[in-house]
A and B are shown apart, each in its own frame.
Chain A
Amino acid sequence: MSGDNRFLGLIYLSPFVIGLLVFTALPFIASLYLSFTNYNLMNEPVFTGLQNYIRLFTGDRTFRKSLWVTLVYVFTTVPLKLAFALFMAVILNYKLKFINVFRTAYYVPSILGGSIAIAVLWRYIFADVGLVNMGLTTLGFEPVNWFGDPTNALFTITLLRLWQFGSAMVIFLAALQSIDKTLYEAASIDGAGKWTSFVYITLPLITPVIFFNLIMQMVQAFQEFNGPYIITQGGPLKSTYLLPIYIYDEAFKRFDMGYASAIAWVLFLIIMALTLIAFWSSRHWVYYAGDKRS
């Protein structure tokens, strides 16, 4: 309104502005500074230049292992989860009765999956004599040593994430349902098969949602903590020792705040770099309806 003070909007924003400055901006800068210091909570932080980073990249074998495990985890979990979520969304996107029942059932793990109770459950079902191995033996297979073998242990953590495909699926399904059906009719009159229609109509039209899900799932996967912390405690042989757990241990068990901040910054820069690559490459593969570019 014309009579309003032009700063009126800022009054409504004031909680956000205070929160942004005190709990986001200040900590963001402070953690960059801390990453160049030696700080163990007892004394004041001592500026040590690049020492933390040099130690990370030259002398720290735990860091190298942890970084590798994190990358393997993210680059297997995120594509598998997105592909499975999209596949199930395509199956669901059909004139089916009970579609809401299935959608709800698949969404339940996403609601509960982050909880400690589910991580505890995972420990029990993948235990040596747990539910999964009981099932395998019943079907005549050899039981698998899930937590004793490094590859298998990481796989149980990945499965916990895959199990929560429901949230990504619901987003895919909403996008699929919003596609104009006449496009498919036109394509089938022109002789296009199901698969051709999917590749040339469906996929391009849902690229914005694929992009959104990709960024969100990636940022989350890089910060996975509860699963490996509860289920495998980072083991065996640090095969599930993801970077967030390493950061937690350095900061809140060894109280090496400077070094932990340096690891956090490396993780942050990796996430940022991959996000920027995704944004940059999106110009070539994400299609926005009404956009003249493509």
Chain B
Amino acid sequence: MTDHILSQNSPAAHDIDIARSRETRRHRLNAVLRYALLTAVGLLMLYPLIWLIGASFKTNSEIFSNPGFWPENPTLDGYIKGWKTSTPYSFGTFFLNTLWIVIPKVIGTAISCTAVAYGFARFDFPGKKILFAALIATLLLPNVVTRIPQYLIFRDLGWLDSYLPLWVPSALAGDAFFVFMLVQFLRAIPRDMEEAARVDGATTWQTLIFIVVPLLMPALISVCLFQFMWTMNDFLGPLIYISSVDKYPISLALKLSIDTTEAFEWNRVLAMSVLSLAPALAVFFLAQKYFIDGISSGGIKG
């Protein structure tokens, strides 16, 4: 308002106009520089992935001679032969194995972490402080120190070469990150509705299912998505516990393919790499809001 009056009446209006247009020009230059830098970094970051997709349609001789994206003689050879693999099983088997690891693990994580977070956020009981401290300690405890005895425990249980070592710890709320994230989320939700439900005679169990879980849904979706991604990418777990090729997930199958065919059949390996990244990419683009929200609010590792 004052600006408006000044520019009409004051003799200094001309100077102010000059100053303002200089300011605008500076802003515009600033924005252009930022866009240029952001675009350059973005292209540099994403080009390896773009190249990967192009290269998976190239012939073997072209992969190491053409730095461009576009294949000169596009071929589906890599996909067709790569899908068959050098094992008696097709890549489809390895995909199904991966899903058979991922889905029970995600479900177990969601259920156990919700229950545990509810217990921490809504109840008082003896030993709560110690248990919460233990949760934080687990969060910071490097897995490397517990891995060997865990292997011995699973061996004694007779669970080696099965998916149980991958499923069971997660189904027992073993991923402290997710519990912590859900506890933080629950603490920020007002308890009014839960208390009203309890006054009306609902049990804590009913309150959890019908009131807390719906409110918790955005955070719970983030948890499921992160667990999905991490399990899809997990390599060390299957490497230690799974020994039969027919039970391999795609991460081990890819490792196997670079050991057996890499010397000459590059496009097969690249084609199968593209396929193995596809589910994670698709899920990410469909649900990116939950990833960004999850990581910026709960403080998730990445």
Cα distance A123–B259 when bound, in Å? 13
Chain A positions within 8 Å of B, measured between CB atoms, are 1, 4, 6-13, 15-20, 22-24, 26-28, 30-31, 34, 88, 91-92, 94, 96, 102-112, 114-118, 120-121, 123-125, 127, 129-131, 134-135, 138, 163-164, 166-168, 170-171, 173-174, 212, 215-216, 219-220, 222-223, 225-226, 229-230, 244, 247-248, 251-252, 257, 260-261, 264-265, 267-268, 271, 275
Within 8 A of A (CB), among B202-221: 204, 208
- Give the residue among A20, A247, A261 with the most B Cβ atoms within 10 A: A20
Interface of A is mostly: helix
Q: How far is the CB of A176 from chain B (nearest CB, A)?
A: 11
The 4 closest A-B pairs by CB, nearest first: A167-B302, A9-B123, A19-B172, A12-B119
Contact of A8 among B125, B150, B292 (CB under 8 A): B125
Which residues of chain B are near A260, meaning CB under 8 Å? 148
5 intermolecular pairs with C-beta atoms under 8 Å apart: A9-B120, A16-B135, A34-B148, A166-B302, A173-B296
In the complex where A91-B37, A134-B67 touch, is A12 in contact with B124 (Cβ < 8 A)?
Answer: no
Residue of B nearest to A137 (CB): B67
Please measure, in the bound complex, the distance between the C-alpha atom of A19 and the C-alpha atom of B150, giving whole angstroms.
11
- Chain B residues with CB below 8 A from A96, complex form: 31, 34-35, 38
Binds A, one of B6-14, B15-23, B73-81, B277-285: B277-285
- How many A-B contacts are there with CB distance less than 8 Å? 259
Tally of chain B residues near chain A (CB < 8 A): 94
Can you add 11 more A-B contacts, CB < 8 Å, to A28-B141, A92-B38, A109-B49? Answer: A1-B198, A6-B125, A17-B131, A27-B153, A105-B46, A110-B302, A131-B51, A138-B67, A171-B299, A222-B142, A267-B142
Contact B34 A225 (CB under 8 A): no
Contact status A115-B232, CB under 8 Å? yes
CB contact between A120 and one of B63, B232, B254, B302 (< 8 Å): that residue: B254
Interfacial chain B residues near A22, Cβ < 8 Å: 153, 172
Contact A267 B144 (CB under 8 A): yes
Give the Cβ gap from A179 to chain B, nearest Cβ, in Å. Answer: 14
Binary flags per residue of B41-53, CB closer than 8 Å to A gives 1, else 0: 1100110110110
Could you give, for residues 120-132 of chain B, a 1 whenever the CB lies within 8 Å of some chain A CB and a 0 otherwise?
Answer: 1011111110010
B-chain residues with CB within 8 Å of residue A13 when the two chains form the complex: 115-116, 119-120, 125, 131
Q: Does B145 contact A (CB under 8 A)?
A: yes
- Report chain A residues within 8 Å CB of B232: 115
Closest chain-B Cβ to A250's Cβ sits at a distance in Å of 9
- Whether the pair B144, A264 counts as a contact (CB closer than 8 A) is yes
Which chain A positions have C-beta within 8 A of B49? 108-109, 112, 121
Residue of B nearest to A250 (CB): B148
Residues from chain A with Cβ under 8 Å of B153 in the complex: 22-23, 26-27
Q: Which residue of B lies closest to A258 (CB)?
A: B148
Q: Which of B83-91, B99-107, B266-274 contacts A (4 or more CB under 8 A)?
A: B266-274
What residues on A are CB-neighbors of B302 within 8 Å?
A: 110-111, 164, 166-168, 170
Residue of A nearest to B43 (CB): A105
Q: Which residue of B lies closest to A28 (CB)?
A: B146
Q: A96-B35, A105-B46 given as contacts; is B233 within 8 A of A115 (CB)?
A: yes
User: Are B173 and A15 in contact, CB atoms less than 8 angstroms apart?
Assistant: yes
Q: Does B235 contact A (CB under 8 A)?
A: yes
Q: Does B291 contact A (CB under 8 A)?
A: yes
Chain A residues with CB under 8 A of B116:
12-13, 15-16
